[in-house]
Structure 1
């Protein structure tokens, strides 16, 4: 069946079977339903993550069979080298997921016992995956996804908001950011992402009358540059980003997580700060 793609690209286009290429080296793959860019120059995992973020993309993971196939096609240019995937357990040790927040189990990746020193995952040319340290420089692929969501109804204990088209659940028992991330994942959701002021106002309305002063949210800083992104790899410039007065200040040099305050503003906190939190998920 003939496939057609409509888009704007400020360059001369080269159209090949199933692919559209622009001069910034991103290639659109129909099966992956998104744009990919191979970086053959090796980098550490954190360097790879930041390079993709700076290009408006995320470090690629085999989220589905189409994307897994597209990654193998890109890897054919590397003469056998492995690549870093955007899969890690930095948010909660032992709980691996992609930078978009997709858990390992949903990708069909099965691995053996984890080495405590290996927090990243690599992929070989045959599609097999392995635990890896994150400091050995390797090639990698950046990915820009086409968004497409189908909405329906919420699970038990989650409340559906018609305006947002999303399901939410408030956890009043305070947890660290990583534990909150883990609990939301276990429920099939993720820490809430404040996409705009309307959603921020909705979450503000969810604060209990007396308990707690802040919610953990799905926003964190990466690297010495402190590049803030959501747990789904979105730039802070593309989502709600109203900080409290004189924040973020990175007090003591280790405030790498974000919270949402009762006054409707954000604050940066240390990873071990305990707070209430809100989980979010798509309706079924």
Structure 2
């Protein structure tokens, strides 16, 4: 249903749009506009108006806009701007993440020591999936069974005082490599700790990553007898004993993961823990 306006109202709207609308140069490109009602959403520009004058403003657009400008910007209702902006941001975020991972796969982290468990393929895949805030920092080896013996207490002691994410890498006697990225260093705690950055991974032999499902927040917990990652379904996504000799891995709600090893109960051959931020 149309809305009637007096000649004076039409003249007023016309003057308003001419004065405050986006300016166009001789090449048809938009110049910065003085009005806060002109917003850029993605690669397009929109003049935001109340719904009462949308019908009239579309007619006026052809009066005061050059033909080239009509292809560059559009008049929309205020309620539509939020939806378009949200959709645009979602698409742009996916593009940025894809570009970031592509660039990261070409970069190799600098290791403070030679790893006994990670080769170039492992490093390339892991580096591409670590959070952006960890990029550009050398990886420091904080614990390894080869250098420090098989002891969960020693692992905890070497983590004391740290305030940065860590990467746990395990190789079992079946030569399978898997582990977890933890947003927080491992420690003894009565409660679960960590954030949604925490994830699991495995090479069996292809790289598999299991991110937080959002179903619960049982990221990491630890005591002197064991270290546990993930849970809530009757079993842990990853469990290690006090001697770092035996472990277990089950599917759990925290990550919706498959068992990380080819056997749910496995014998540990080697363990390494790296910090991935200064």
Q: TM-score scaled by structure 1?
A: 0.23
Structure with the higher fraction of residues in strand conformation: 1
Considering only CA atoms, is the larger Rg found in Structure 1 or Structure 2? 2
Relative contact order: is structure 1 or structure 2 higher (C-alpha 8 Å, sep ≥ 6)?
1
